[in-house]
C-alpha cells in the first residue's frame, strides 16, 4: 500500500490495499483524506471492509476536493457497510461519482444505498455492477430513482440475479425519470418477452435516455418491432446495445429489414441530437455577445 505520508505527493491517488488495515492505519488515512486538497479522484482497491470504511468515511465526508470515489476492485464491503455511503452522500456535497462495483452488498445493501438516493442532488454517476443484487434490491432502487432528478449514469451490469421483475420496475421508473442518460443492464437474466416489450413501451415518451445496454440473448422479432415502435415516438435514444456490440441480430430469427429500420431510427436521433446541441451552443454564444 502507498504510505499515508505520501498522500499529497501524487497528482492522482490509487491505493491498492493487499491486506486489512489496522485501526491506526485507517485513522491516519482518514485524517489525510480529510485534509487533502489536491486529489479529485480517490480509489481504494483491494481489502477495504466494513470496519475500515466506517473509519475512512469520517475523512471522506470532510474532504472538499474529491469528485470521484472508487471503492470497487474486490473489496469486502457488505450490506452493513453500505450505510456509510449514505453518510457520504448526505454530508459530502462535492462527490458526484460513486464507483461501488464488485462488492457484496446484496439486496439489503443496495436498498440502503437507494434510500440515500431518494433525496440526493449531487451524485450523477453510480456504478453498481457485480454487487450480488437481485430483484428486491433493484425494485427498491427503481422506486428511489422516481424522485431523483440528478443521476445521469447508472451501471447495473453483471448482476445475473436481475430478472423480469427488475426490468418492469426500471421501465416504470423511466416513465417518470428523464434524468438518466446512460443505463447499463448487461447480463440481466430476463426471460419473458413481455417484460422487454413493456420496457420498450415505457420509453416512448422518455426524453433523457440516450444509451441503453441490454446484452442479453433474448432477441425476437416482436421485441425488435417494439423498439422500432418506441423510436417512432422517442427522439433521444441513440444507442441500443446487445452482446457488447450494436445490432448483433443476425443470429436470431429477425428480419434484416427490421434491423435496418431500427438502425436508421437510432441514427436519426443521433443526428437530430447533434443538430440540437449545435443550435443551442450557437444561441448561447449569441446571448453572451449581447
With beta carbons less than 8 A apart as the criterion, state whether 86 and 116 touch: yes
pLDDT of 74? 78
pLDDT of 215? 67
With beta carbons less than 8 A apart as the criterion, state whether 43 and 70 touch: yes
Q: List per-residue pLDDT tens for the chain, 290 residues long.
A: 444 434 444 457 888 877 888 999 999 999 999 999 889 999 998 889 999 999 999 999 999 999 999 999 779 999 999 999 999 999 999 999 999 999 999 999 999 999 999 999 999 999 999 999 999 999 999 999 999 999 999 999 999 999 999 999 999 999 999 999 999 999 888 889 999 999 999 999 999 999 999 866 678 899 999 999 999 999 999 999 865 444 444 455 788 899 899 999 999 999 988 776 676 665 666 676 65
Domain positions in the chain are 4-289
CA atoms within 13 A on the CB side of 254: 23
pLDDT of 217? 67
pLDDT of 2? 42
Q: Give me the residue label for grid cell 466506517.
A: 54
Instruction: Using alpha carbons, list the distances in angstroms from residue 120 to 47, 80, 83, 94, 222.
Output: 28, 20, 14, 12, 38
pLDDT of 100? 97
Q: Which CATH superfamily is domain 4-289 in?
A: Ribonuclease Inhibitor (3.80.10.10)
What pTM did the predictor assign?
0.89
pLDDT of 241? 84
Q: Which residues face 44 on adjacent strands?
A: 15
CA geometry: angle at 47 spanning 45 and 53, to 5°?
85
What is the rounded CA–CA span in Å between residue 119 and residue 124? 13
pLDDT of 208? 97
**The three cell numbers locating residue 9:** 505527493
Amino acid at each position: 500500500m502507498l504510505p499515508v505520508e505520501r498522500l499529497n505527493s501524487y497528482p492522482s491517488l490509487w491505493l491498492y490495499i493487499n491486506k486489512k488495515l489496522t485501526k491506526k492505519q485507517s485513522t491516519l488515512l482518514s485524517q489525510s483524506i480529510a485534509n487533502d486538497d489536491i486529489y479529485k479522484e480517490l480509489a481504494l482497491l483491494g481489502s477495504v471492509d466494513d470496519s475500515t470504511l466506517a473509519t475512512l468515511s469520517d475523512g471522506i465526508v470532510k474532504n472538499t476536493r474529491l469528485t470521484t470515489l472508487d471503492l470497487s476492485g474486490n473489496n469486502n464491503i457488505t450490506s452493513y457497510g453500505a450505510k456509510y455511503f449514505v453518510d457520504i452522500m448526505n454530508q459530502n456535497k462535492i462527490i458526484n461519482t460513486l464507483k461501488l462495483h464488485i462488492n457484496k452488498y446484496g439486496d439489503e445493501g443496495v436498498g440502503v444505498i437507494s434510500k440515500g438516493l431518494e433525496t440526493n442532488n449531487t451524485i450523477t454517476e453510480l456504478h453498481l455492477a457485480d454487487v450480488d443484487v437481485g430483484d428486491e434490491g433493484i425494485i427498491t432502487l427503481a422506486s428511489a430513482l422516481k424522485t431523483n432528478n440528478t443521476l445521469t449514469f447508472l451501471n447495473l451490469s453483471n448482476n445475473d440475479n436481475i430478472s423480469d421483475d427488475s426490468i418492469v420496475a426500471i421501465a416504470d421508473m423511466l416513465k417518470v425519470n428523464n434524468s438518466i442518460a446512460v443505463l447499463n443492464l448487461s447480463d440481466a437474466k430476463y426471460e419473458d418477452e413481455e417484460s422487454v416489450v413493456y420496457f420498450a413501451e415505457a420509453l416512448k415518451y422518455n426524453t433523457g435516455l440516450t444509451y441503453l445496454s441490454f446484452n442479453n440473448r433474448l432477441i425476437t422479432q416482436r421485441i425488435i418491432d417494439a423498439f422500432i415502435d418506441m423510436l417512432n415516438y422517442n427522439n433521444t435514444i441513440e444507442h441500443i446495445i446487445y452482446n457488447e456490440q450494436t445490432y448483433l441480430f443476425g443470429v436470431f430469427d429477425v428480419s434484416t429489414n427490421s434491423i435496418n429500420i431500427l438502425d436508421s431510427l437510432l441514427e436519426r436521433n443521433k443526428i437530430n441530437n447533434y443538430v440540437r446541441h449545435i443550435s443551442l451552443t450557437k444561441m448561447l454564444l449569441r446571448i453572451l455577445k449581447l
